[in-house]
Amino acid sequence: MDSIIIRGGRPLSGDIEIAGAKNAALALMPAALLSEEPLTLTNTPRLSDIATMTTLLQSLGAEVSALQDGRVQAMACHGEVNHVAEYDIVRKMRASNLVLGPLLARTGRAVVSLPGGCAIGARPMDIHIQGLEALGAEVALEDGYLHATAPRGLTGARVEFPFASVGATENVMMAATLARGTTVMTNTAREPEIVDLATCLRRMGARISGDGTGEITVEGVDRLHGATHPVVADRIELGTYMLAPVIAGGEVTCLGGRLDLIGAFAEKLDEAGVQVQETARGLHLARRNGRPRAVDVTTAPFPGFPTDLQAQMMAMLCFAEGTSVLEERIFENRFMHAPELTRMGAEIEVQGGTATVQGVAGLKGAPVMATDLRASVSLILAGLAAEGETQVNRVYHLDRGYEAVEDKLGGVGADIERVPGR
Ligand code: UD1
């Protein structure tokens, strides 16, 4: 397995291009199952999770072509659609469950293995199931597979989500596009990726309103048609690279970055004494004077502080002046980066869903282990300012969600290299 080696202490300078959002693309790709006509996505990121979703869609009968170096994904599902999503593919990535709603809407049945993915909590499927049952599906669990059927098709209904789950909102919204009648979903997730999916579905002929608010209305239509859609910028990659100059020093412009994607996070940086400037090219970050200040952070669904930036923020707070309290409210068991950061000299105490970080003047490089996607990148960020060499092992999680991290950080002056595994 590959490792990443970082020799810390180099200030950064230059531009980093922000890719299309992994989490948006992973919801947009299954939308291709809803139509017999092709769906083309532009600005797709080149990531192993996208390759996994490609394999899954192909196993369901879709033709998928990666064009322009993988930046464009063209998907066509005009033939027979297979309704079984096999364990061998689904276990690699939780977002595989996003084929459930589209398969059910298109074929009236779906058999989808219970998903795998990052080990950051229990992450059950009950909210997805409740939503699809409200539309008239019958769902049973057998041998580790969800068996969903709707022999007479789905019917529009009121769906009240007990929690604003991102995946459940996406699954039920996609399923409702082809249901008979109107679906009103309340307490829906408001993430930019939901808005991006709704925008794409509208381009395909769906009638959706209210996305980005807590209530989405979908008027079912008989069929959806083909479309071309650009994937929204990756706000998590954006936030990650915004932290790089704050931790390492120097200044970086994140090309294509927008404040509306990342408001709560930018507010926390402001509170920490770091200015974020929005320009026509993107978001500009600079650390000119001393260490950032400690801040308290609580993760929450959008527009709150994203759980997917908690690990990276912790890496920054390890260097801050003062004591910060981080509360993780979305996933249990999402502090696996804390002991690794501690090995580099950070002072962190974890109790349940709360981590208390006492900022220190500097960290020391060490061999560390990447435990999940965002944890991996938090260790790389910490390595940028640590004294000596940091070796981040088991970086396969990183490649699921970050495109060419060593090129992007190396391009702005970081001393970073990938060492191929044996
Ligand atoms: C998505 C993102 C992930 C991000 C998360 C929260 C994708 C591909 N992944 O994941 O990167 O960290 O949103 O912003 O977009 N839950 C249930 N029952 C369910 C569904 C969820 O209890 O049926 C719980 C989960 O265990 C978790 C919380 O709800 O504690 C949030 O999950 P959800 O919003 O569904 O996240 P994902 O869509 O899996």
For 142-159, how does the pLDDT look when each residue is reduced to its tens digit (9 = 90+)?
888 999 999 889 999 999
User: What is the sign, positive or negative, of the torsion defined by CA atoms of 318, 370, 309, 285?
Assistant: positive
Is residue 120 over pLDDT 90? Answer: no
Q: What average pLDDT score do residues 13-23 get?
A: 98
What is the reported pLDDT for 283?
98
What is the reported pLDDT for 54?
97
For residue 342, CA distances in Å to 68, 163, 361, 397 come to 42, 33, 14, 20
Is residue 7 over pLDDT 60? Answer: yes
Cβ neighbours for 354, distance < 8 A, ≥ 6 positions apart? 325, 326, 327, 328
For 52-72, how does the pLDDT look when each residue is reduced to its tens digit (9 = 90+)?
999 999 999 999 999 988 899
What average pLDDT is seen over the chain? Answer: 94
Nearest Cα to Cα of residue 369 among 330, 346, 339: 339
pLDDT band at 118 (very low <50, low <70, confident <90, very high): very low
162 lines ligand 1 (CB under 6 A): no
180 lines ligand 1 (CB under 6 A): no
For 233-256, how does the pLDDT look when each residue is reduced to its tens digit (9 = 90+)?
999 999 999 999 999 999 999 999
pLDDT band at 396 (very low <50, low <70, confident <90, very high): confident
* Separation between Cα atoms, residue 21 and residue 95, nearest integer Å: 13
Nearest Cα to Cα of residue 65 among 56, 75, 79: 75
What is the reported pLDDT for 79?
86
* Separation between Cα atoms, residue 194 and residue 166, nearest integer Å: 7
* Separation between Cα atoms, residue 239 and residue 18, nearest integer Å: 10
Residue closest by Cα to atom 28 of ligand 1? 330
* Separation between Cα atoms, residue 164 and residue 359, nearest integer Å: 33
Neighbours of 145 (CB within 10 A): 18
**Strand intervals (E) in 267-401:** 276-278, 282-287, 297-298, 323-327, 347-351, 354-358, 367-369, 389-393
Least confident piece of the model among 110-114, 186-190, 249-253, 268-272: 110-114
21 lines ligand 1 (CB under 6 A): no
- Strand-pairing partners, residue 124, are none
> The whole model's pTM is what?
0.96
118 is catalytic: yes
Is residue 94 over pLDDT 60? Answer: yes
* DSSP calls for 138-166: EEEEETTEEEEE-TT--B--EEE-SS--H
What is the reported pLDDT for 287?
85
What is the reported pLDDT for 371?
84
For 253-283, how does the pLDDT look when each residue is reduced to its tens digit (9 = 90+)?
999 999 999 999 999 999 999 989 999 999 9
* Separation between Cα atoms, residue 378 and residue 209, nearest integer Å: 37
Residue type, 376: S
120 lines ligand 1 (CB under 6 A): no
* Separation between Cα atoms, residue 226 and residue 32, nearest integer Å: 8
What is the reported pLDDT for 332?
82
Ligand 1 atom at minimal distance to the Cα of residue 165:
34
For 166-180, how does the pLDDT look when each residue is reduced to its tens digit (9 = 90+)?
999 999 999 999 999
Tell me the CA–centroid distance for residue 68 and ligand 1, in Å.
31
CB neighbour burial string for 14-43, b if at least 16 within 10 angstroms, e if fewer: ebbbbbbbbbbbbbbbbbbbbbebbbbbeb
Tell me the CA–centroid distance for residue 18 and ligand 1, in Å.
23
For 397-409, how does the pLDDT look when each residue is reduced to its tens digit (9 = 90+)?
898 999 999 999 9
For 346-374, how does the pLDDT look when each residue is reduced to its tens digit (9 = 90+)?
999 999 999 999 999 999 999 999 888 89
What is the reported pLDDT for 153?
92
Residue closest by Cα to atom 15 of ligand 1? 23
